[in-house]
Amino acid sequence: MKQILTIAILIPFLLTAVLAQKRHGDSGDRWTGEVVSTNESTREIVIQFHAKGGSERFSGILAEGYKARMNNGTYRELRMSDIPIGMKVELFVATTSEVVGGQRVSFNRISRIEFLGRDEYAWLRATLGLDQSFPVRLEDSTKFALARPLKIYLHIEDKKIKNSFIGWTIKWNREQAVKFGAIDIVSTAKAADVLIVVRRGTTLPVGGLTAADAFLIRQKSNEVAVLWKDHVFVRPDDGGGPIEKAVEKRLKAKP
């Protein structure tokens, strides 16, 4: 059988309305929508999204030689036929230009594709090694009704953000543990009460901030409960950013 792209591609996707999210980064924009067409010869990808007044479309050209990760862990050049029509994707795009026939032409260059799968938790499931059908629900808990110390497992892709959180934990245990309980960073997810999962973000040119997707979760045998999630902007060296504040808020909440 032909190799298939990632776990997300294997899951049937329900063709529902998707709100496009155009986010700005230091290297370009990020567009989210459903794939409506691809062109093998031109490498064009067209997505559709819903905006005020109805559906709109966005198109871009995939960079030459772009490689994607296969199910077996290897990488090969992505073919347009690998991208299912109807798949929800996020495109990382920069507007560029080149001279064609003596005239300068602008176009949207796609430097990266994220396959989002059936819902917003597809990446989280893949990161945790779970099947894409595994239930994930938003619990949005404001407190931890858990034994002390609170055991936390960190799956944070950005090392600076991870080290910053560890530094904050040391300070918390020194100054707040007696009153609110200590924090114990554990080495396995199985030993943890809660997990902090942070997707690698983009460093912004202003103020050294890093944009990242962060989740605070409780993993159970039959589901994952998302206690808090946000698209955050953090300064990795301050040890008091939104991730730390989300944990602190729940530790200080009354049982």
DSSP labels for 60-126? Answer: EEEPTT-EEE-TTS-EEEPPGGGS-TT-EEEEEEEEEEEEETTEEEEEEEEEEEEE-TTSTTHHHHH
Q: What is the pLDDT of residue 11?
A: 27
Q: What pLDDT sits at residue 195?
A: 96
Q: What pLDDT is stored for residue 201 in this prediction? A: 66
pTM: predicted TM-score of the whole model, two decimal places:
0.60
User: Rounded to 5 degrees, what angle do the CA atoms 212, 248, 227 make?
Assistant: 60
> CB neighbours of 164 closer than 8 A, spacing ≥ 6?
234, 236, 237, 238, 239, 241, 244
Q: Which of 192, 191, 51, 45 is nearest to 110 (CA)?
A: 45
Average pLDDT for runs of 10 along the chain of length 255? 34 30 57 90 90 82 84 77 84 83 85 77 85 84 76 92 93 94 94 91 67 88 90 74 91 80
What pLDDT was estimated at residue 118? 63
Rounded distance, CA 76 to CA 72, Å?
Answer: 11
pLDDT of residue 203: 64
User: Which H/E stretch holds residue 10?
Assistant: helix 7-10
pLDDT at position 18: 33
Predicted pLDDT of residue 39: 94
